[in-house]
């Protein structure tokens, strides 16, 4: 029997690092469906989970995979699934259910070129807005990005911790390049890995309200079989979990779901800053394109240009306060992403006309090179 957490240095792919991160975070249930380029996550979990007393199940489609991890989460375990674009589209229905019923779970989307079947074996970053708004209705979501195998490990742990802390689905947005790339991953001892578990209710079971928020806006969550006689529904519901079809109940429920994320933005949003202090041009990027951007920034600095780089570790909620503050100092922003402008739009919104906003992007299938970014920097400088 293996230990739940592999430790030491390993040369593994981003997908495998993601699976190891999940195990380190305490995930014991994986419901999945094969899809390139995320299959290796499911494969690794299918091997490891039974060894640590967990359960892996390959469901009949991504709809079922997503439904199964919600069921598992209500049974009291940390659960996850992984997919890519076409499967991510199918999961949207039950991601909405997870949001509405405040069910912690992690969904990893190893992005490939789209739309539709697109480029199954080639990377892209075209699902950023789908992650934000893919399910119907107005809601808040947490989505993270990873730009290396090491980050696939650490961000998967963060995804679980945020899901548990805020009782919400968390999406990890990777891409084919990161998923399939082998790199050194350093896995610390289990005791050094911080894991978070959902708040559990205390006290009286009779009359317990499963959707009555606690201090940080998050309600303690019992599991099925704990004796709380909970009712959980995707219909608009009150704090008891009972369906209530009124304008007031809708306002109350949606506002709470939105605010528990919005009011904790400072805790959720993480970025990394590179040479921003004197930067006239700021690159904004994430995932594989973050590596392109860092290389381009270093090349530009070597040429004496004052270029900085803001790396997004959290995609949603968007780091708008950070970008807005930078916009008072910098002259221009260049968003680097493998699409025709998705996070670019968020940067524009946050900058609000205080600086120029540009995009280096393309439709997908390959990475953006540092030279392409450098060329644009030179044009603007």
Stretch that binds another protein, among 11-19, 57-65, 183-191, 253-261 (CB under 8 A): 57-65
Distance CA 58, CA 45 (A): 11
Of residues 74, 139, 274, 316, which one binds another protein by CB under 8 A?
A: 74
CB nearer another protein, residue 250 or residue 366: 250
* Cβ neighbours, 10 Å, residue 67: 19
Stretch that binds another protein, among 142-150, 186-194, 231-239, 338-346 (CB under 8 A): 231-239
Distance CA 142, CA 104 (A): 11
Residue 222: name the closest of 204, 238, 237 by CA. 204
Number of residues in contact with another protein under rule CB under 8 A? 47
In this structure, are residues 150 and 124 in contact, taking their beta carbons and an 8 Å threshold? no
Distance CA 238, CA 273 (A): 42
Q: Which of residues 87-106 bind another protein (CB under 8 A)?
A: 93-94, 96-97
83 sits near another protein (criterion: CB under 8 A): no
CB nearer another protein, residue 73 or residue 168: 73
230 sits near another protein (criterion: CB under 8 A): yes
Of residues 75, 186, 251, 352, which one binds another protein by CB under 8 A?
A: 75
Q: Which two tokens stand for residue 264?
A: 């904790």
Q: Which two tokens stand for residue 221?
A: 């969550």
Taking the complex as a whole, how short is the minimal distance between the CB of residue 11 and another protein, in angstroms? 25
Of residues 13, 17, 41, 68, which one binds another protein by CB under 8 A?
A: 68
Q: Which of residues 145-204 bind another protein (CB under 8 A)?
A: none
Distance CA 90, CA 139 (A): 18
Half-sphere exposure of 374 (CA within 13 A, CB side): 16
CB nearer another protein, residue 74 or residue 318: 74
Query: Element (H or E) spanning 69, and its range?
Result: helix 62-74
Of residues 3, 200, 243, 349, which one binds another protein by CB under 8 A?
A: 243
């Amino acid at each position: 029997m293996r230990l739940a957490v592999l430790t030491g240095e390993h040369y593994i792919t981003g997908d495998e690092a993601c699976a190891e991160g999940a195990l380190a975070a305490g995930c014991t249930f994986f419901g999945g469906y094969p899809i390139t380029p995320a299959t290796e996550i499911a494969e690794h979990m299918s091997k490891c989970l039974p060894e640590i007393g967990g359960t892996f199940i390959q469901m009949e489609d991504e709809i079922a995979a997503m439904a199964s991890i919600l069921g598992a989460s209500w049974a009291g375990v940390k659960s996850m699934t992984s997919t890519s674009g076409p499967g991510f589209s199918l999961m949207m229905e039950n991601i909405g259910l997870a949001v509405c019923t405040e069910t912690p779970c992690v969904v990893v989307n190893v992005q490939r070129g789209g739309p539709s079947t697109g480029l199954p074996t080639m990377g892209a970053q075209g699902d950023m807005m789908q992650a934000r708004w893919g399910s119907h209705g107005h809601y808040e979501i947490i989505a993270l990005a990873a730009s290396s195998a090491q980050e696939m490990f650490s961000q998967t742990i963060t995804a679980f911790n945020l899901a548990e802390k805020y009782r919400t689905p968390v999406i990890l947005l990777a891409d084919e390049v990161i998923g399939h790339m082998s790199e050194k991953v350093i896995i610390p001892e289990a005791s050094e890995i911080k894991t978070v578990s959902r708040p559990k209710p205390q006290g009286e079971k009779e009359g317990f309200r499963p959707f009555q928020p606690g201090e940080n806006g998050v309600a303690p969550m019992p599991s099925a079989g704990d004796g709380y006689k909970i009712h959980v529904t995707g219909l608009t519901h009150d704090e008891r979990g009972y369906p209530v079809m009124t304008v007031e109940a809708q306002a109350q429920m949606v506002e709470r779901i939105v605010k528990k994320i919005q009011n904790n933005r400072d805790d959720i949003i993480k970025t990394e800053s590179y040479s921003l202090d004197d930067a006239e041009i700021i690159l904004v990027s994430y995932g594989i394109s973050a590596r392109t951007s860092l290389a381009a920034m270093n090349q530009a600095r070597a040429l004496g240009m004052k270029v900085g780089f803001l790396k997004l570790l959290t995609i949603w909620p968007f780091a708008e306060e950070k970008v807005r503050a930078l916009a008072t100092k910098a002259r221009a922003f260049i968003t680097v992403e493998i699409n025709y402008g998705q996070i670019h739009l968020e940067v524009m919104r946050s900058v609000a006309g205080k600086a120029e906003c540009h995009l280096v992007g393309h439709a997908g299938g390959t990475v953006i090179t540092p030279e392409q970014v450098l060329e644009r920097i030179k044009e603007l400088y």
